[in-house]
Amino acid sequence: MDLLHNFYSGIGIAFQPLNLFVCVAGVFFGTLIGALPGIGAIAAVSMLLPSTFYLEPVTALVMLAGVYYGAEYGGSIASILLNIPGTTSSAVVCLDGNPMARQGRAGVALLITAVASYTGGTIGIVLLMAGSPLLVALAQSFGPAEYFSFMLLGLAAAGMMGSGSPAKGLAMIVLGLLLGCIGADVNTAAPRFTFGLTHLYDGINVIVVAMGLFGITEVIFGMMAPGRSTEVPRVSLRSMVPTPEDRRRAVMPILRGSTIGSILGVLPGAGATLSTFMSYSLEKSLARDPSRFGKGAVEGIAGPESSNNAAAQTAFIPTLTLGIPGTATMALMLGAMMIHGIQPGPAMMTQHADIFWGLIASFWIGNAVLLVLNIPLIGIWVQMLRLPSLYLYPTVISLICMGVYSINFAVADILLVLLFGLLGCALRLLKCEPAPLLIAFVLGPMMEENFRRAMLMSRGDVATFVERPLSLAILAVTVAIAGGMLLVSLRRRRAAQ
């Protein structure tokens, strides 16, 4: 059992007092920073990156990995309690997590989230240890055509997320795709819909869109309905314990979510984002009563949260074994490794075996620390909701502005987030759901890029999407989902008549 032996020696490295200490510190600060609205894993890691320059390579990476998980989990805290997601992944957790908080079940939601994160993370780590070569092979069978088909599937799944009218869901997706067109075109560098503003050249940052549509809107509506946020009951340790019903409902979604997340996490760029709402859509379609979703369904947080964390683990596979970062956060981690003289790549497992296995062991310890650290803290987090809105809302608004400003140090982003806040208010009054818009906004540019690249490589032959077997299979699933949605809405209309 070479694998177990390696992992065992890795545990030895991770359990060195200093490493254990920085792991706990990293998770704690990561959670704290991630819980602030608008400040996610990228900001948390880049803030703490310079402070690791003076540490040993393993210690530095352990700390940054801790910060990364902590921030991912912290993002869920802000989503559940305040309905303010910092990323597309947390936007999915908002859908049912925030209704649960409104029903006074914030403690249960946070506990399930913590357990789901831990389970997802653990499954992801097991796959990272045992299945790296297999997952890498899967990721490598994805060319531009497959990516395009896969993102189309993602859009179809996004259409399923809303609980309102399908037409409105579709409208939101189209609006999201249009907003995604803003910025320089990758193929020619031509600026599109930038109105001559240099600031729009790189497009609008997804954090700005998410914070505006969800965060600012939430605050504005919260202020119009005063007193609501103070009605939170006191959270005792007992009230955090999920009911047997909750537990039963959470188990399978966690396992399914972890599987989806582990597999999709290895796809550079799109994986982690897609996995959360793919998991959500899957749970919704499997549920006997899908109408519970969006109103505080336990499955709706357990599945996505576990898939998000599993993907956070397996996203390390291309980063560590190929030296190819799939997300901006992974690029930062890669940068940190290079600064410490480690070149991730095919040779990493042999040349830096101690670092590789120490890192993997500390991933697992980081996840365990996250669980242990947060269960006692949940009570404290929930107290946040007891803050009178007089103090809570101005604080949230200033934190959002600071978070958004910290992305690019641009004042224009603050103006944009307020604009998106107004758009969010309009959408809420029209009973349109912003989550599909956000997902389409993220997927749109990637879809276009991969479509054009696929066309370049097939020399303009559209048949490439159906000639490649994997792409064809993904497209078939997409058509099945879209057909299913059409059927459901037709049946609903007939039933209404």
Interface with another protein includes 414 (CB under 8 A)? no
Nearest residue (CB) to another protein, 79 versus 327: 327
Q: Count the neighbouring beta carbons within 10 Å of the beta carbon of residue 323.
A: 16
What is the per-residue binding string for another protein in 49-88, x denoting contact by CB under 8 A?
xx--x-----------------------------------
Interface with another protein includes 469 (CB under 8 A)? no
Which of 408, 419, 472, 488 contacts another protein by CB under 8 A?
408
Contacts (Cβ under 8 Å, ≥6 apart) of 429: none
| Minimal distance, residue 218 CB to another protein, in Å | 28
Nearest residue (CB) to another protein, 102 versus 199: 199
Interface with another protein includes 142 (CB under 8 A)? yes
**Alpha-carbon dihedral sign for residues 353, 357, 358, 360:** positive
Q: Count the neighbouring beta carbons within 10 Å of the beta carbon of residue 2.
A: 6
Which of 184, 368, 470, 477 contacts another protein by CB under 8 A?
184
Question: d(Cα 180, Cα 163) in Å, to the nearest integer?
Answer: 23
Nearest residue (CB) to another protein, 160 versus 264: 264
Nearest residue (CB) to another protein, 140 versus 398: 140
Which of 51, 103, 141, 383 contacts another protein by CB under 8 A?
141
Which of 324, 349, 377, 414 contacts another protein by CB under 8 A?
324
Question: d(Cα 338, Cα 331) in Å, to the nearest integer?
Answer: 10
Interface with another protein includes 411 (CB under 8 A)? no
Nearest residue (CB) to another protein, 149 versus 306: 149
Interface with another protein includes 241 (CB under 8 A)? no
Nearest residue (CB) to another protein, 141 versus 230: 141
Nearest residue (CB) to another protein, 244 versus 460: 460
SS (H, E, C) the chain: CHHHHHHHHHHHHHCCHHHHHHHHHHHHHHHHHHHCCCCCHHHHHHHHCHHHCCCCHHHHHHHHHHHHHHHHHHHHHHHHHHCCCCCHHHHHHHHHHHHHHHCCCHHHHHHHHHHHHHHHHHHHHHHHHHCHHHHHHHHHCCCHHHHHHHHHHHHHHHHHHCCCCHHHHHHHHHHHHHHHCCEECCCCCCEECCCCCHHHHHCCCHHHHHHHHHHHHHHHHHHHCCCHHHCCCCCCCHHHCCCHHHHHHHHHHHHHHHHHHHHHCCCCCCHHHHHHHHHHHHHHHHCCCHHHCCCCCCHHHHHHHHHHHHHHHHCHHHHHHHCCCCCHHHHHHHHHHHHCCCCCCCCHHHHCHHHHHHHHHHHHHHHHHHHHHHHHHHHHHHHHHHCCHHHHHHHHHHHHHHHHHHHHCCHHHHHHHHHHHHHHHHHHHCCCCHHHHHHHHHHHHHHHHHHHHHHHHCCCCCCHHHHCHHHHHHHHHHHHHHHHHHHHHHHHHHHHC
Binding segment for another protein (CB under 8 A), chosen from 19-27, 217-225, 229-237, 324-332, is 324-332
* Count, residues near another protein per rule CB under 8 A: 54
Interface with another protein includes 180 (CB under 8 A)? no
Interface with another protein includes 189 (CB under 8 A)? yes
What is the per-residue binding string for another protein in 27-56, x denoting contact by CB under 8 A?
---------------x---x--xx--x---
Which of 198, 243, 291, 398 contacts another protein by CB under 8 A?
198
Residues 357-396 interacting with another protein (rule: CB under 8 A): none
Which of 323, 372, 419, 488 contacts another protein by CB under 8 A?
323
Interface with another protein includes 495 (CB under 8 A)? no
Interface with another protein includes 269 (CB under 8 A)? yes
Interface with another protein includes 208 (CB under 8 A)? no
Nearest residue (CB) to another protein, 187 versus 243: 187
Which of 139, 260, 427, 439 contacts another protein by CB under 8 A?
139
| Minimal distance, residue 268 CB to another protein, in Å | 6
Question: What residues make contact with another protein under the rule CB under 8 A?
Answer: 42, 46, 49-50, 53, 139-144, 184-191, 196, 198-199, 201-202, 268-269, 318, 322-325, 328, 331-336, 338-339, 341, 343-347, 408-410, 449, 453, 456-457, 459
